[in-house]
Chain A
Amino acid sequence: MRLKTALALPAALALTAGVLAHVPLVHPSNGKVLHWSSPSNVGIVINSAGSDDIADGSHETAMRLAIEEWNAATGTNATLVENTSTLEQARTDWTSSSIHLVIFDETNSSGYFPAWSGTVAITPIWFFSNGTISDADILFNGSGFQFTTSGDPGHFDVGDVGTHELGHLLGLDHTAWAGGTMYPFVDPTVSLHRSISRDEISGLRDAYPSASFGEITGSVRRLSDNSVVRGAHVVARDASGRTAASILSTNSGAFTIRGLDAGTYDVYVAPLGNGLSGGSDAPVDASNLTSWFTIETDFEAEDYPTSFTITGTETVAAGTLLVDADVSLNLGTESDRYPMRIIEGMSQTVVIRGSGLNPTSTLTVSDPDLIIGTPMWFGSQVSFQVTVPVGEAAGHVDVIATNAFGEQSILTAGLEITPPTPSVSSVSPTMGATAGGTSLTITGTGFKPGARIVVGDQIYTDGVAGTVVASPTTITLTTNSMLEGTHDVVVIDATGIEGRLVGAYQALAMPMIATVFPAAGVQSGATDVILNGADFLPGATVSIDGVDQGAVTWMGASRLAFTTTPGATGAQVLEVVNPGGALASSVFTYVAQPDPVVLGVTPSTVARSGGELVTVTGTGFTPTSLLFFDADPDTGVGGIQAESVMYIDANTMQAYTPQFSSTGDTNVLVADMITSQASLREDAVTVSGGGGGGGGGGCYMVPVDGPPRASGIARGAWWMLAVLALCLLRAKRVPARDAIA
């Protein structure tokens, strides 16, 4: 590397420094920078229809994350303000200036995505002659490509693409940083563009500053004839060797790197694209910029030995930066896949294509903390191992190739350091109400401060509204109101990488009670009740007539068990309230007569063929008690009704066993056909022996649906009629109790 001496011309250069900073979009005719007149309130609407490839509407969440990413940039007042009005989100008239829309064009209705177009997304921007942006919209090419929010292979990440397009919407052109979000090419395997780089932040600070920052000014000229270099890429690196900010020199060769925080910087100049020496195509060149810029590339990339220190908001003059003639050495091509991720605490092999990469060359990276192994040079590519020490901060690093003649090529921000990919191993609890309010603990690895967590359609940010990255392995948050369904839990690092536990959390809607078993109990309480239904949450409470029933056993989203407290006789409202307040109601009836209780059956072993007389002992039996075998223990539904039931007294019943369809232990259910009180004893009888056909079905009770619906009422009435008909049939066949006695 040949170092050039910077000529000190600070006073003059400060005055002639170019107004062009970073790579903004500019008016094609007059070169004025395109900008929003009210950058603190740039409205944006995400079309709710989204992509045909994304059924759950998570494109909205992905775009909101992208919006948050830009809004989190410091030192700028640019703010994207989303309008979530349902009516606005239903609009598709993206050409209207009254809406700035993000929309998926699934049929190429825009005409911008003909077959084979190769354009994944596009951002039309309308502007006035003074450069003020009047409208901008983002169109995804849904007709030609597939999109994902969950890393589906071969699909483009909505967040990755969307973050880039939002940069255009804000007025940024493509960047020469290989690892920048505004890098012009997209790859379905990466999501690192979700996080904007310091280059993009610098661009916003320049276009829409909210504070004063330091600047480095100077100019670029050729060593050979002192002629100015137009469109040179001038880059500042911070003291830790990280790529910090960049701009293009103006047509007078002047530059001003703006938006710099206090610190010490080195500066280098590199051509934006490869020069006349030919060779490979550079990752980014003039053709990737919209227009206007004059980009000269006939010079060698040059590092300069002088460091520049900014203590506050002052302008520091770098003087004239001289560049030598172009060389036959190019590091990086457009066929490389950028950004190239290297992971903190790991060693990885990196391959970078280019030209003139011959074995006598040397390779370095701008961050001296990184450890580079011996490179393998192949002329058109170089392969090397890079080790990122533990604790290295995320950010971009330049790669520098130097040949035997001391000539060099610099790949700006070619490597992006990220933390290891976070992983989510568990979520507790695994379900909660759609209404939110559930305290969630996420367990995993690699959680970092500043992480964002996505559960369903909701975004949670570390440090905001009670969301806390408590440790690298634990995140706690309280859920917001969210869409019903099973959702992935996603932890997204500040660099954009994510850990995802698929289907880890279920947001349940309003609970629903299907059956109450038994549907009635004694007014003094102590009746064991099972509720069957859906969307019950752990922690749900049960009340009858407004009286809390105490401990509730959660037996899954479809079943709750509790024991009644005393209550007033008559039908009472039974309510289940999920954590968060979602409520379901049904009916429970308190009656005066004691609940039946089955204590035993004699004999305890019966033949499968049926016809045996059994004696059931217990309490609370009545003349209207029915006897069933093998009923559903949770609902009381089904089972085989015993024949010739004989009421002896309140403690004794006799009946002939029916034919059983199978052998084994079975339950016995005593139910009062008038009050609906019931008692079921598990494994009360063992059915043995062969022979016999299947028993008849039966049902003693009317399942209580809730909340009451017309269909439920009809169904209940049908069952009532069925029971009554059954009783009438039995009345014809079974002698009256007195007669038997």
Chain B
Amino acid sequence: MRLLPFAATALIVGLAGVAIVSRPGGVVAGTALRMEVPELVRGSDLIVEGRVLSGEAFESDGRIETEYLIEVERTFVGEDQPYRAVRIPGGVLPDGSGMMLAGMPRITPGETALLFLSEAGATGVRMPVGLAQGKFQVLEAESGAKTLVRDSSGVTLVDRSGALHRGEGRSVLGYAQVTAEIEAALAARRAR
């Protein structure tokens, strides 16, 4: 699976000009979906923060998808509902067989996640915007302080202060900072 690096965007815009701009998902997608929160917001039809209660994989039209049930704590984009079921490509069936798409985020029941999801397709499936970049794990210290980590490697530990334990995190972002960027991006989107 290939993604666009952030640096590629300006170049594509410069080189491709109208040809690329004429494709709605082209340049902006590459730019937006590469690590920048405002662009993650731009590409999202649903942004929710919540606890993943379960994930059930099933086969549909030759593909395998997983429906995650999320207890929603906060909805940034989309209708606010206490619970949400979102279907995402890939998963493992009870017999151990499965389907994966390299680069997709790993979503684990029990974790709290901030998800940036595309609009639902014809089959109801949503894609994480920017694939793995469309999911942050939300870590909460006993103090209530939250931290976001883009990390597919499993459980990450935090101490009382909310700081990460040694070696367990990458791409650590401040929750307040990210949510502020989301709100700002939403305001900009509404203004347009």
Chain A residues engaging chain B, CB cutoff 8 angstroms:
25, 27-30, 34, 93, 95-97, 108, 111-130, 134, 141, 143-146, 153-156, 161, 164-165, 168, 173-174, 184-189, 229-231, 273-276, 278, 281-282, 285-299, 334-338
Contact = CB atoms under 8 A, between A and B. Distances in A.
Interface stretch (B3-11, B138-146, B177-185): B3-11
A173 B102 contact: yes
B159 to A, nearest CB: 12
Contact of B92 (A28, A156, A185, A188): A28
A116 B33 contact: yes
B51 interface: no
B119 A291 contact: no
Contacts of A114: 25, 43, 118-119, 121, 126-127
B166 A117 contact: no
Nearest to B136: A287
B33 A286 contact: no
B25 A116 contact: yes
B131 interface: yes
Helix, strand, loop or mixed for chain B's interface?
loop
B100 A117 contact: no
Helix, strand, loop or mixed for chain A's interface?
loop
B170 A274 contact: yes
A120 B3 contact: yes
B28 A95 contact: no
16 contacts: A25-B100, A27-B92, A97-B62, A114-B121, A116-B29, A119-B1, A119-B33, A145-B23, A185-B3, A187-B5, A187-B8, A281-B35, A286-B170, A287-B132, A289-B153, A298-B167
A727 B123 CA distance: 77
Which of A291, A334, A336, A338 is packed against the most chain B CB atoms within 10 Å? A291
The 9 closest A-B pairs by CB, nearest first: A129-B96, A154-B16, A118-B33, A95-B62, A144-B25, A116-B43, A111-B121, A296-B167, A298-B167
Contact of B23 (A118, A146, A189): A146
A336 B6 CA distance: 8
Contacts of B64: 126
Nearest to A293: B153
A156 to B, nearest CB: 8
A112 B3 contact: no
Contacts of B129: 116-118
Given A116-B43, A276-B169, A126 B98 contact: yes
Contacts of A97: 62
A144 B150 contact: no
Given A168-B1, A286-B151, A145 B8 contact: no
A146 B24 CA distance: 11
Contacts of B15: 153-154, 188-189
B142 to A, nearest CB: 20
B35 A334 contact: yes
Which of B97, B100, B105, B125 is packed against the most chain A CB atoms within 10 Å? B100
Which of A112, A282, A298 is packed against the most chain B CB atoms within 10 Å? A112
Contacts of B172: 276, 278
A137 B118 CA distance: 22
Nearest to A291: B106
Contact of B152 (A116, A290, A296): A290
Contacts of B152: 286-287, 289-291
Given A111-B125, A123-B1, A335 B6 contact: yes
B186 interface: no
A306 B11 CA distance: 43
Contacts of B192: none
A112 B101 contact: yes
A273 B170 contact: yes
A144 B26 contact: yes
Given A25-B100, A187-B11, 14 more contacts: A27-B92, A116-B25, A116-B129, A118-B4, A118-B133, A122-B103, A134-B97, A145-B30, A146-B19, A165-B1, A165-B2, A286-B152, A288-B103, A291-B100
B98 A337 contact: no
B154 interface: yes
A13 to B, nearest CB: 21
Contact of B98 (A29, A119, A274, A278): A29
A199 to B, nearest CB: 16
A188 B10 CA distance: 11
A337 B7 contact: yes
Given A128-B96, A184-B3, A188-B11, A287 B170 contact: yes
Nearest to A118: B33
B78 interface: no
A118 B130 contact: yes
Contacts of A338: 5
Given A28-B92, A144-B25, A126 B8 contact: no
Contacts of B121: 108, 111, 114
Contacts of A145: 23, 25-26, 30
Contact of B99 (A127, A146, A188): A127
B15 to A, nearest CB: 4
A124 B63 contact: yes
Interface string B142-175: 0000000011111000000000101111111000
A648 to B, nearest CB: 71
A118 B43 contact: yes
Nearest to B4: A118
B16 A118 contact: no
B170 to A, nearest CB: 4
Nearest to B32: A116
Contacts of B48: none
A733 B36 CA distance: 91
B3 A119 contact: yes
B6 A334 contact: yes
Contacts of B118: 114-117
Which of B28, B102, B164 is packed against the most chain A CB atoms within 10 Å? B102
Nearest to A184: B3
A174 B118 CA distance: 24
A269 to B, nearest CB: 13
A126 B95 CA distance: 13
B154 A294 contact: yes
A298 B170 CA distance: 9
Contacts of A121: 1-2
B12 to A, nearest CB: 5
A165 B103 CA distance: 11
A231 B63 CA distance: 31
Interface in B104-121: 104-106, 118-119, 121
Contacts of B191: none
A128 B97 contact: yes
A504 to B, nearest CB: 24
A123 B102 contact: yes
B106 A28 contact: yes
Contacts of A95: 61-63
B187 interface: no
B161 to A, nearest CB: 13
A692 to B, nearest CB: 55
Contacts of B2: 119-121, 156, 161, 164-165, 184-186
Contact of B26 (A146, A285, A287, A335): A146
B82 to A, nearest CB: 26
A143 B25 contact: yes
B133 A287 contact: yes
Contacts of A230: 167
B86 interface: no
B32 to A, nearest CB: 6
